């Protein structure tokens, strides 16, 4: 894959896929202002890590890299949610990991605020925002 096409796709997908999440979080549309934000990205997907890095920079935090094994287990997702505390979680990961993460978060009482699906090259990514 041509490096320029890859980077152009990353910038375009990040701007169109996650920008609404950042805007909603900054405007306090889900959960009010002043709540801490945790950005979680799937570590095996470089596209997810790149998008999450940009989003995390908007909030002045570092993204949390989580492996597929962690995102696919109840204990792993629970540990990530406990780390987020009573704040907002923005996640960027593949479809399966996002589904598992959102279902476990919902079972623990978290509310889904926004959910978007994006295709970056060959990767299909989901970006979402929840209130814990």
Which pLDDT value is given to residue 55? 93
| Closest to 55 in 3D by CA, of 75, 32, 78, 38 | 38
Asked whether the predicted pLDDT for residue 27 surpasses 50, the reply is no
Instruction: Quote the pTM value.
Output: 0.74
66-92, pLDDT tens digit by residue? 999 999 999 999 999 999 998 999 999
Which pLDDT value is given to residue 5? 54
Of the two residues 117 and 110, the one the predictor is more confident about is 110
Query: How far apart are alpha carbons 96 and 54 in whole angstroms?
Result: 22
For residue 120, list its beta bridge partners: 123
Say how many residues make up the chain. Answer: 132
Query: How far apart are alpha carbons 28 and 35 in whole angstroms?
Result: 9
Q: What is the overall mean pLDDT for the chain?
A: 82
**Residue 123: pLDDT band with limits 50, 70, 90:** confident
- Dihedral sign, Cα of residue 24, residue 130, residue 99, residue 51: positive
Which range is least confidently modeled, 7-16, 87-96, 110-119? 7-16
Asked whether the predicted pLDDT for residue 2 surpasses 60, the reply is no
CB-count burial class (<10 Å; 0-12, 13-18, 19+) for 24? middle
Residue 97, number of CB atoms within 10 A of its CB:
25
Asked if residues 14 and 53 have their Cβ atoms less than 8 Å apart, the reply is no
Query: How far apart are alpha carbons 22 and 82 in whole angstroms?
Result: 22
């Amino acid at each position: 894959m041509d490096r320029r096409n890859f980077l152009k796709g990353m910038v375009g997908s990040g701007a169109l896929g996650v920008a609404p999440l950042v805007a909603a979080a900054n405007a306090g549309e889900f959960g009010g202002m002043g709540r801490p934000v945790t950005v979680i990205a799937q570590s095996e997907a470089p596209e997810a890590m790149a998008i999450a890095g940009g989003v995390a920079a908007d909030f002045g935090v570092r993204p949390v890299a989580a492996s597929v094994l962690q995102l696919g287990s109840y204990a792993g997702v629970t540990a990530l949610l406990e780390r987020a505390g009573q704040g907002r979680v923005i996640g960027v990961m593949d479809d399966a990991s996002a589904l598992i993460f959102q279902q476990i978060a919902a079972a623990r009482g978290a509310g889904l605020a926004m959910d978007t699906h994006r295709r970056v090259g060959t990767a299909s990514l989901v970006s979402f925002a929840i209130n814990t």
